[in-house]
Amino acid sequence: MCLAIPARIVELNNDKAVVDAMGNRFKARTTLLPEAKLGDLVLVHAGFAISLVDEEEAKKTWQLIAEIDDFEQTQNRVSG
Amino acid sequence: MLETIYKTQSLINAACKAMGRQINIMEVCGTHTVSIFRAGIKTTFPKTLKLLSGPGCPVCVTTQGYIDTVLQLAQRKDCLIATYGDMIRVPGSNGSLEKHIGGNVKVILSSEDALQSARDNPDKTVVFVAIGFETTAPSTAVVVKEAAKEGIDNFCILSGHKVIVPAMAALLSEKNHKIDAFLCPGHVAVITGFGAFGEIAERFNRPCVVAGFEPMQIIEGVGEICRQLAAGVAEIKSVYSAVVTEKGNITAQKIINECFEPADGYWRGLGKIEKSTLKLKDKYSQFDAHKRFNISEKLGKEPKGCRCGEVLCGLIEPPECGLFGKSCSLQEPVGPCMVSSEGACAAWFKYGQGPRNKTSEQ
């Protein structure tokens, strides 16, 4: 549960954002990362952006998440 | 990629030669554990280098006492339990949260969803099952502050939040420990900064290297640890510079410190550790479920025969537990290290070196 997901901020209203990760869009807060701007790539953990991240690093993590997801689906895990 | 592998191999060889015995490196992050097993990293190292899985999975280190408390609260008609999905299958002394889903238990993705549940259900007291290390603690703190600001009094948190450095220090303070170095958690370090591990490197003379989660990043981290071991030094270093800085996320640290204070608390397997858990400060005590329901923190009783505690301390490997692969499996887990997808037993069982591999070899 300590794995954060890289995602791009596609909407931003104060500290409430909509982010896109691998084509999935979801809500995230930028309360913990006030410097985040529209279009930035950020690491999102449990609904909160915690760090900026570059494109190359984001790609590595997306790849890893896609592979780990296979593992977790075998256990009917809901989320974390 | 090959360059990193060859470089790491030569660093490992140099370290093994310099140490003249088996080297044990402990990772303290569940996501590292999964990545190491999934990529088969262990099998590429010589037998003289061992990777141990430590207390890095938040679900696994949560005590049986805490889980039993959540289950007791789930029985109350006036409560709604909001929990991350990781916790629902963990067995308590009497069943798990799974059977209450749709009733008094709601699975959420974010602390914000827990607070929203309180807004949506004014006739219930929403109890947020707040577990996790420094990565999740700030998001809990944000919603506690918001609940206070909005005056949402039917919301509270059962803080099971923990901080990792005191647990690492506790492991190294045990006489029988065999840890030579730590591979430190990448996303915890995003919040704390890699400087937070300075105490471990200096006080205990153990290298502490922060790494990312992709297999090559882990291999690079192990290489840096071996470089230090061969040179006889113990330094803090990050090989995950894309997101980890020395000082970390100051905004998140400030929010944690505003809401929480360090308290002595229990860990499964490690027992009571000084200043290792996060307790709400007095000014937010109305949101403290322990106080609201007059609950005292307790360790609880482990499932019979379960050796998750020793697995979490790196004292044994999962197959050394008598239940592993027999009465405890992914399908019917007994202990939290098998329940949690980030647990060492689950990773071992799923990715090999478990009984299924033995079967396939026969």
Residues B48 and B186 in one domain: yes
Angle of helix B250-259 relative to helix B137-150, nearest 10 degrees? 60
Give the nearest chain A residue to B347 (CA atoms). Answer: A71
- A54–chain B Cβ distance below 8 A for any pair: yes
Which residue among A3, A53, A54 places its CB closest to the CB of B31? A3
Report the candidate in B115, B181, B200 with the shortest Cα–Cα distance to residue B154.
Answer: B115
- On whether the CB atoms of residues B187 and A1 are closer than 8 A, the answer is no
Q: Does domain A5-73 have CATH number 3.30.420.40?
A: no
Residues B107 and B190 in one domain: no
Q: Any idea what the CATH number is for the domain that residue B227 is in?
A: 3.40.50.11750
Average pLDDT over residues B79-86: 94
pLDDT per position as a tens digit, B142-181: 999 999 999 999 999 999 999 999 999 999 999 889 999 9
Residues B143 and B270 in one domain: yes
CB-CB neighbors (< 8 A) of A43 in chain B: 187, 190, 243
Q: Read off the pLDDT band of B341 (50, 70, 90).
A: confident
Can you give the pLDDT at residue A80?
35
Can you give the pLDDT at residue B359?
39
Residues B49 and B68 in one domain: no
- In chain B, positions 40-99, which contact chain A (CB-CB < 8 Å)? 56-59, 84-86, 88
pLDDT per position as a tens digit, B90-136: 888 888 898 888 889 999 999 999 999 999 999 999 999 999 999 99
- A70–chain B Cβ distance below 8 A for any pair: no
Average pLDDT, chain B: 92
Can you give the pLDDT at residue A72?
56
- Cα gap B33→B10, rounded to integer Å: 23
Whether residues B110 and A46 touch (CB distance < 8 A) is answered with yes
B231, pLDDT greater than 50: yes
Amino acid A17 reads A
Domain count, chain B: 3
Domain residue ranges in chain A: 5-73
Minimum distance, in Å, between the CA of residue A31 and any CA atom of chain B: 8
Residues B71 and B21 in one domain: no
Q: How long a stretch of residues is chain A?
A: 80
pLDDT per position as a tens digit, A5-43: 999 999 999 999 999 998 999 999 999 999 999 999 999
Residues B137 and B265 in one domain: yes
Residues B52 and B65 in one domain: no
- Cα gap B80→B76, rounded to integer Å: 8
Average pLDDT over residues B252-265: 98
What is B68-119 written as a DSSP string?
A: HHHHHHHT-TTEEEEEEGGGTT--BTTB-GGGGBTTTEEEESSHHHHHHHHH
Residue B245 included in any domain: no
Range of the domain at B30: 2-58+164-238
B358, pLDDT greater than 80: no
Amino acid B176 reads N
Residue B362 included in any domain: no
The ipTM, to two decimals, is 0.89
Minimum distance, in Å, between the CA of residue A26 and any CA atom of chain B: 11
